[in-house]
A and B are shown apart, each in its own frame.
Chain A
Amino acid sequence: MSELSDISIELIIPELLILFGIVSLVILPNLGEARFRIPLTSTRVPVFIGGTRFEFSRDPRLPFRISIVILFLSLFFAQLAFWSPENWTGKVGLVLEVDRFSILMSNIFLSVVFLCTLAASHRLPANPSASGPSKRDSEKVEKEKIEDLYNNRRQVDFYILILMTAIGMTLMTKSTHLFMLFVCLELASLSSYVLVGFNKETDIGGEAGTKYFIVGSVSSAVGIYGMSLLYLWSGSLYITDLTILWDSMSTLDPLPVISIGMMLVAFGFKIGAAPFHLAIPDAYSGASSLVAGLLATASKAMGFVALMRILVLISMPDQGEAFWMIIVAIISVITMTWGNISALSSTNPKRILAYSSVAHAGYMLAAIAAIGAGLGNLDSYSLIVTAILFHLTVLVVFKLGAFLVLNILEYKNNSHKLEGLHGLASRDPILAGSMFIFLLSLAGVPPFSGFLSKLLMINGILNSTIDTGSISASAIQEWIVSVDMLFWLALAIVLNSALSLFYYLRMGMIMFFEKTENDQPITYSIWIKVSIIILAILTALFGIGPISEILLDSVTNSANDFLGINS
């Protein structure tokens, strides 16, 4: 018992709150007037579970209300930790540790889930006055009524799943043990598989869910097999133990190399790196936009956390280049190019954003490859990790923002086609303007935050490679021949962002340019509108000025914590 009392439980208040939320989501909507009659008497004891439900537990809006309050509270605590990290860091038990890195990531995950939950109130509306269809109804009305009832019934399922992803992700960043990390990752992933297939009544939704589940579980299986090989080699799965063991290895042992390679497959799928990305566009286009947004931001960030832990922390030698450097560099170039070229020919906005998410994964992998080159010191690694974390953070703002806009259009419109965006500027100028800002930021146009993050990544790559160029070179060719190959990754990122501009602009342009037959204004809740506007403003503010400086500072601190640099 003495060990338990050491656990500083207050550090994981957000997770505990979410857990509480899940439990109350299971219990509260089932409360009713059920009574248990004590046998042989006429006394009826109320047991509350089952029977005719109370007024409040019958309300289909209850699950949404519970989860939004819970998420708001846990986001509040996460923010508290974010602003005063000194009181909120420390070890929790044996396998969890809260540091500034995990606080930052928790904030990312929780804000994504919070915004998705908010958006879900539009995409998956609960209608307290829904009634069954009657014979007098026309076919259309009947269909709508059935859909309403159907939506009411699956409210709880949706919110439980989305809270499960939240708890899985936030615990995952805090875990210092590979097995814990994997379990939490799988908790979040399994819930997200179900969320992808949530619209199972449509063909495309069912297909997406199945495909994503099969590919995802195969890759997880490969990953856990790799992890068991790693355990065979080391006898411990603590990340610190593994790091020490790896550094003490004089020559490369094939066993851990193979196992790291296998884990690369597992986490490569999570981040959507080529060639494991093939299920991603299908999943995104089949899922509802908010789930796609969750996958593109939070789930990808989760994959990157895991990937950076095994690549940068564990298998990075003290001196010289890591064995995975070449592989990751090649994968990154293929990923970004493949993503961008596929997006060019796509006509479904969700697929376009999915491919753009693949391309962004490529940029970040290129930055990881630059760490693997082993040319710099801890400070230059910190610069690159900062760039990656900053990119993951600002992705929440503009990528999720873009998905939220699509989410509004999707319901009772069609966002499966680019036509869904037609004439958005005249139907809803605020929405179109925000979407345009998001798209420009995705393309990396200054002054938006997408530019700053891309700049930091290129900066990181150049920083660690440029000194390899020959100092005495007096002609361009001489210098080009002498510089490290990774220098060209910076050029690959630049060329790819130029390429990506095509499809972002095409998407942006049809909003202003094409006419639409349907020119009714779009109705959606004021909260969603406010959050989209806030996201659009943040996209600009994180790009330049004091606010981006504050963010950059705390991201730098997180990166230092992640690498174990004391600052």
Chain B
Amino acid sequence: MILTILVITPIFFGLGLILLPHVLQKNMAENIRNITKNISLGVGVALFAISTFFSITSLGGIEWLNISLGDFQLKEEGISLIPSIGTSWKLGIDALSLPMVWLTTMLIPVSMLVEWDAKDSHYFHPLLLILEGAMIGVFVVLDLFVFYLFWEMTLIPMFFLILMWGGEDRKYAAMKFFIYTFSASVVMLIGILIMYFYTTSSETMTGHTFDMIVMINNTELIPSIGLRHLVWLLLLIGFATKMPSVPVHTWLPDAHVQAPTAGSMILAGVMLKMGAYGFLRIAVTAFPGSTVVFTPLLIFLGMVSLVYGAWVCMGQTNLKRMVAYSSVSHMGLIFLGISTMQPLGIAGALFMMFAHGIISPLLFAVAGAFKHHYHTLEIGSMRGIAHHSPWLSGHMMLGWMASLGLPLLAGFVAEVAILISFWMTFGWLVLLPTMTLVITAVYYLSSMQKTIFESNNPHSAILPDTMKGEEPRDISWHENVGMLILASFTVIFGILPFIYWDMMADWSSEIMNILSEEMRIRGIKP
């Protein structure tokens, strides 16, 4: 029940809060509108409490020792949705999805707090709730039809968030976002359907089933290796576009720059991870053979994303665009981590998904606060603002440092794991990603230094023209609370990564057993 509650409650509340005022009388509707954001935040916090409880205690009876690959906990099955095509409501959680679910429930209330005073908040916050339900759905369903359903369902609230609350070019960005990700996922759908054909089930009209566990375990039923490779590639197209990896990343900077702060926080924090999650859950798990064969492609994509993303960052003058490209760069590290074919590398990739999900929302929250209080995102047009906004500058420093991989912060754990295993596999080639980290440090440090420190006068900042004589001020309390939560988790998971690291390591050694078996068959040396 507990997972169903996590998925259904936010969608139910979100839709209800949007629709209810249209049905009720004017007076009542106005009252409900006024407390919509409080209710939304309440629901968000409640869900966060639930997911935290089943993370730290034995709520619902998770067997922590068995949570790794294939052993889904809190399993729910039974309700058939469309029996004749073999799809049913089937949920479960394992080491791959548990951290992601926790991350989602954590980010939604935080992003609500950061954008507490959004205009038309009686639509804004419920939309975030619907988005939350759909994203948790993606992570917990074990039925590929419903998976695809939730996968596409995340697009609609995000589309509206960008369209209604975005920046000047929001129309273009929303279109581009929707069309890119939708087109890629219909390609992925063909892959899913081909997998579907080679399952057998006696109970359905079509003779097949969408049950994810059956599909994943039975991919040897696909007789031709060529077809398996094709399916793997089709899936990769869908997932890589979501992640996004070069060359299909171009929707990301536009979407990020135009999206409202909360939108970009969730986009970077969770939606990009959906791509990596799907890749690991379906493509890698179901087709280990193809994954092994296509490892060079993964290395290439990862390396190009990493280097190109970082390189482009250096030339950016827009703070948000820079952070967006740094996401592309970090997502490249995930592919690199998988392609090392080491348990440590894959665990690093998993932790990268998680750590980036905490750090990048902090970065976007900071960038959003600049836009909100200084009305500009141009690096260099504002200088030395630490004088006026000490809290904001503090958060910026922490976020920027975490993202460039400072030890004792969450990002470092993932990076160092990936780099070590990269060195173990590819030897001195590790210099290439390492040098990229230096580039990362360069652009982060220079942008930070320009924005919060560099000023000729120690007692006042150089304010951007867009301020128009407005008095500079620090971030408001709700923004501060949101950022503090993110910042404290960055530190906590930097010092105590093993909270989730252990289960991720278990999961990756399990998947590695399968992968190395495939490598042995093919005679590829690890």
Write the residues of chain A forming the contact surface with B, with a CB cutoff of 8 angstroms.
383, 429-430, 440, 444-447, 451-452, 455-456, 458-459, 462-463, 466, 469-480, 490-491, 494-495, 497-498, 501-502, 505-506, 509, 512-513, 544-546, 548-549, 552-553, 556
What residues of chain A lie closer than 8 Å to B155, measured between beta carbons? 445
Interface bits B140-173 vs A (CB < 8 Å: 1, else 0): 0000000011001101100010011000000100
Bound CA span A351–B185, Å: 28
- Interface: B61 (CB within 8 A): no
CB atoms of A494 and B197 under 8 A apart: no
CB atoms of B226 and A556 under 8 A apart: no
Chain B residues 281-333 with CB under 8 Å of chain A are none
What residues of chain B lie closer than 8 Å to A455, measured between beta carbons? 189, 193
What residues of chain A lie closer than 8 Å to B81, measured between beta carbons? 544-546, 549
- Asked, given contacts A544-B82, A549-B83, A552-B84, whether A479 binds B226 with beta carbons under 8 Å apart, the answer is yes
CB atoms of A545 and B175 under 8 A apart: no
CB-based A-B contact count at 8 angstroms: 120
How would you classify the secondary structure of chain B's contact residues: helix, strand, loop or mixed?
A: helix
CB atoms of A556 and B205 under 8 A apart: yes
- Interface: B446 (CB within 8 A): no
CB atoms of B225 and A548 under 8 A apart: no
CB atoms of A494 and B226 under 8 A apart: no
CB atoms of A552 and B224 under 8 A apart: no
Given pairs A444-B186, A549-B82, 10 additional interface contacts (CB within 8 A): A430-B22, A456-B85, A473-B227, A494-B189, A498-B182, A501-B183, A512-B160, A549-B83, A552-B82, A552-B205
Count of chain B residues with a beta carbon within 8 Å of a chain A beta carbon: 41
- In-complex Cβ contact of A474 among B83, B186, B189, B226 (8 A): B226
Q: Quick one: which of A466, A491, A502 has the most chain B CB within 10 A?
A: A466
CB atoms of A462 and B152 under 8 A apart: no
CB atoms of B229 and A475 under 8 A apart: yes
What is the minimal beta-carbon distance from A454 to any residue of chain B, in angstroms?
A: 9
What residues of chain B lie closer than 8 Å to A469, measured between beta carbons? 224, 226-227
What residues of chain B lie closer than 8 Å to A458, measured between beta carbons? 189-190, 193
Bound CA span A448–B193, Å: 18
CB atoms of B175 and A480 under 8 A apart: no
What is the minimal beta-carbon distance from A241 to any residue of chain B, in angstroms?
A: 31
CB atoms of A513 and B171 under 8 A apart: yes
- In-complex Cβ contact of B152 among A445, A474, A479, A546 (8 A): A445
Write the residues of chain B forming the contact surface with A, with a CB cutoff of 8 angstroms.
22, 80-85, 148-149, 152-153, 155-156, 160, 163-164, 171, 174-175, 178-179, 182-183, 186-187, 189-190, 193-194, 196-197, 205-206, 223-227, 229-230, 233
Across the A-B interface, give the 10 residue pairs with the lowest CB-CB distance, nearest first.
A479-B226, A473-B226, A498-B183, A471-B223, A446-B149, A474-B225, A473-B224, A494-B186, A446-B152, A447-B149
What is the minimal beta-carbon distance from A251 to any residue of chain B, in angstroms?
A: 35
How would you classify the secondary structure of chain A's contact residues: helix, strand, loop or mixed?
A: helix
What is the minimal beta-carbon distance from B32 to any residue of chain A, in angstroms?
A: 15
- In-complex Cβ contact of B190 among A490, A544, A545 (8 A): A490
Bound CA span A479–B205, Å: 28
Bound CA span A440–B156, Å: 9
What residues of chain A lie closer than 8 Å to B160, measured between beta carbons? 512
Which chain B residue shows the least CB distance to A546?
B81
What residues of chain A lie closer than 8 Å to B189, measured between beta carbons? 455, 458, 494
- Asked, given contacts A440-B156, A462-B197, A502-B179, whether A471 binds B224 with beta carbons under 8 Å apart, the answer is yes
Bound CA span A383–B83, Å: 15
CB atoms of B224 and A479 under 8 A apart: yes
Bound CA span A75–B350, Å: 57
Bound CA span A473–B190, Å: 19
